[in-house]
């Protein structure tokens, strides 16, 4: 089958969530190098969504998904990171052995990959915030990333962590307040202010 046929099939499958569980193996088979980057990018994204709902069925493919973080194609690296975020949100134990590899993606040359990294960490942190409490310096530094998408997303990690483990964000509150008042990007200011507000609310409980 050519790409257009396969991609349409994958798009149709994406919409049919009731059939996901029965088709995980079928989708994962298309991670093979015989398929184009466009197909594998779609597969990585879909496996991440499938893994969020059926983590026990995706376990055997996690290492293959992680391997795409080493791809020469930035879209495949981005989608690999996205998928690990979704799978890790469902079950941290499936990705915990790959966490160091995921953390390295913050240094990727592609802004889209770095943005995906922050988003993936937010996903994992929503159910396993303890994995990131000692890593918050990384996300503070990313508020000053060269990429605007990364800068906008980075404060959201403080909101996610602050809601559940506010003590981990407390050391950054003064800095986040300054950013909320002074950063030249309006969305960065808004997201930083939101992180401060959510953390302070959690501290009062």
74 burial class (0-12, 13-18, 19+ CB within 10 angstroms)? middle
From first CA to last CA, the distance across the chain in angstroms is 57
Residues 2-25: tens digit of each pLDDT: 889 999 999 999 999 999 999 999
What is the reported pTM? 0.95
The H or E element that residue 132 is part of is: none
Provide long-range contacts, Cβ within 8 A and 24+ apart, for 173-177.
173/199, 173/200, 175/140
Please provide the DSSP assignment of 48-75 as one string: HHHHHH-HHHHGGGHHHHHHGGG-SSHH
CATH of the domain spanning 132-205: 1.25.10
Fold match between domain 1-130 and domain 132-205: yes
Class of domain 1-130: mainly alpha
Q: What CA–CA distance (Å, rounded) separates 18 from 41?
A: 22
Q: Is 87 in contact with 94 (CB distance < 8 Å)?
A: yes
Q: What CA–CA distance (Å, rounded) separates 63 from 51?
A: 13
Residues 145-180: tens digit of each pLDDT: 999 999 999 999 999 999 999 999 999 999 999 999
pLDDT at 1: 66
Q: What CA–CA distance (Å, rounded) separates 156 from 163?
A: 11
* The two structure tokens encoding residue 140: 């503070």
Q: What CA–CA distance (Å, rounded) separates 39 from 6?
A: 7
Please provide the DSSP assignment of 120-143 as one string: HHHHHHTT-GGGTGGGHHHHHHHT
Residues 44-99: tens digit of each pLDDT: 999 999 999 999 999 999 999 999 999 999 999 999 999 999 999 999 999 999 99
pLDDT at 2: 86
Domain locations in the chain as residue ranges: 1-130, 132-205
- From the centroid of its chain, how far is CA 133? 17
């Amino acid at each position: 089958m050519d790409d257009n046929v396969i991609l349409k099939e994958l798009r149709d499958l994406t919409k049919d969530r009731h059939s996901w569980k029965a088709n995980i193996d079928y989708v994962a088979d298309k991670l093979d190098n015989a398929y184009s980057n466009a197909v594998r990018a779609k597969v990585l994204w879909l496996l991440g969504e499938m893994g969020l709902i059926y983590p026990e069925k995706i376990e055997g493919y996690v290492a293959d998904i992680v391997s795409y973080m080493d791809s020469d194609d930035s879209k495949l690296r981005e989608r690999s990171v996205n998928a690990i975020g979704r799978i890790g949100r469902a079950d941290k134990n499936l990705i915990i052995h790959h966490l160091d590899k995921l953390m390295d993606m913050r240094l990727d040359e592609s802004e889209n990959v770095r943005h995906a990294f922050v988003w993936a960490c937010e996903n994992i942190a929503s159910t396993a915030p303890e994995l990131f409490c000692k890593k918050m310096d990384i996300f503070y530094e990313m508020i000053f990333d060269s990429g605007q998408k990364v800068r906008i997303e980075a404060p959201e990690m403080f909101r996610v962590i602050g809601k559940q483990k506010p003590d981990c964000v407390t050391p950054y509150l003064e800095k986040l307040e300054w950013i909320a008042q002074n950063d030249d990007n309006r969305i960065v200011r808004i997201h930083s202010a939101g992180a401060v507000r959510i953390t302070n609310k959690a501290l009062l409980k």
